Amino acid sequence: MRTPVIAGNWKMNTTLAEATALVKQMKDRLDTIKGVEKILCPPFISLAAVGELLRGTSIRLGAQNCHHELKGAYTGEVSPSMLSAMCEFVILGHSERRQYFGETDELVNRKIRATFGANLIPILCVGEKLEERQSGRAEKVVRSQVAGALDGVDSPRGLVMAYEPVWAIGTGMAATGEEANLTINLIRGELRRLYGAEIALETRILYGGSVTANNIGEFVTQQEIDGALVGGASLKADEFVSIVEQSAART
């Protein structure tokens, strides 16, 4: 039985003061919800302060990106070893990184390997663009993103994955529960092909893309979907708490 995960990706939102205020609005309520893993991923600049506020609670902390080397002359970058001293998770391969910062499967793969090496848990995102779906290539794209990102990784124990179709992110046009379930089943199949049944069965695979308190039920009731990676709705305390509550109710 996989414990569901609800992760909030705050993206490039919140100043330090806004981030700490948001955590204070939701942390006591989130802390009491059992049966679901709760992860907050604020911007780098707020990780330390948010981590301090979350200390002693059941809420876990993640970053939104990292570099693929552990240290060195890479002005402006943040390394996996810096992060592992501060948080447990890091989102990698997000479509916004692929789209706006030119991240390829190869680069995502280097980051994934560095992350495992530094004892950080990646939340690996994959997902097709609208034109790829419309031309019937969604399945192929998603499979190759999974295999590409995990190339050379012997055992991705603990890995969390997120299926985030690009056309559903920030658009208000979420996939249906059935659609997401089908693709997540396919991702699990790819994990089985690469690593065998045990890893495939234990890896949590989330859905992401316009998840709200109104539609979360549609996703977490699906067999293969183990929670959600939430963008916009994770910036609203009441809505995020409601999403987590509804996901816990599934168990």
Question: Which of 37, 67, 94, 218 is the catalytic position?
Answer: 94
Taking CA atoms, 140 is separated from 93, 126, 132, 146, 215, in Å, by 17, 12, 9, 10, 27
Nearest to 164 by CA among 106, 114, 206, 119: 206
Q: Which of 229, 241, 243, 244 binds ligand 13P (CB under 6 A)?
A: 229
6 makes contact with ligand 13P (CB under 6 A): no
Compose the 36-75 pattern: x for residues touching ligand 13P by CB under 6 A, - for all others. Answer: ----------------------------------------
Asked if residue 240 lies in contact with residue 17, where contact means CB atoms within 8 angstroms, the answer is: no
Of the pair 83, 211, the CB lying nearest ligand 13P is at 211
Active-site residue identified among 128, 164, 224, 239: 164
The answer to whether 179 is a known catalytic residue is no
Residues numbered 84-113 forming contacts with ligand 13P, rule: CB under 6 A? 94
* Binding segment toward ligand 13P, per CB under 6 A, in 53-61, 79-87, 202-210, 240-248: 202-210
170: alpha, beta or left? (left if phi > 0; alpha if psi -120 to 50): left
- Exactly one of 71, 170, 197, 238 binds ligand 13P (CB under 6 A); which one? 170
Q: How far apart are CA 148 and CA 120, in angstroms?
A: 19
Which residue of 9, 79, 115, 145 would you call a contact of ligand 13P, by CB under 6 A? Answer: 9
Based on CB atoms, which residue is closest to ligand 13P, 227 or 232? 232
Residues in contact with 41: Cβ distance below 8 Å, sequence separation at least 6, in sequence order: 7, 8, 9, 10, 61, 62, 63, 64, 89, 91, 123
In the complex with ligand 13P, which residue's Cβ is closer, 65 or 81? 65
Q: Is 68 a catalytic residue?
A: no
Residues 208, 226, 241, 243: which binds ligand 13P (CB under 6 A)?
Answer: 208
Per-residue buried b or exposed e for 106-130, using 16+ beta carbons within 10 Å of the residue's own CB: ebbbbbbbbbbebebbbbbbbbbbe
Of 39, 114, 191, 230, the residue at the interface with ligand 13P (CB under 6 A) is 230
Could you give the CA distance from residue 48 to residue 61 in angstroms, rounded to a whole number?
10
Residues that bind ligand 13P (CB under 6 A): 9, 94, 164, 169-170, 208-211, 229-233
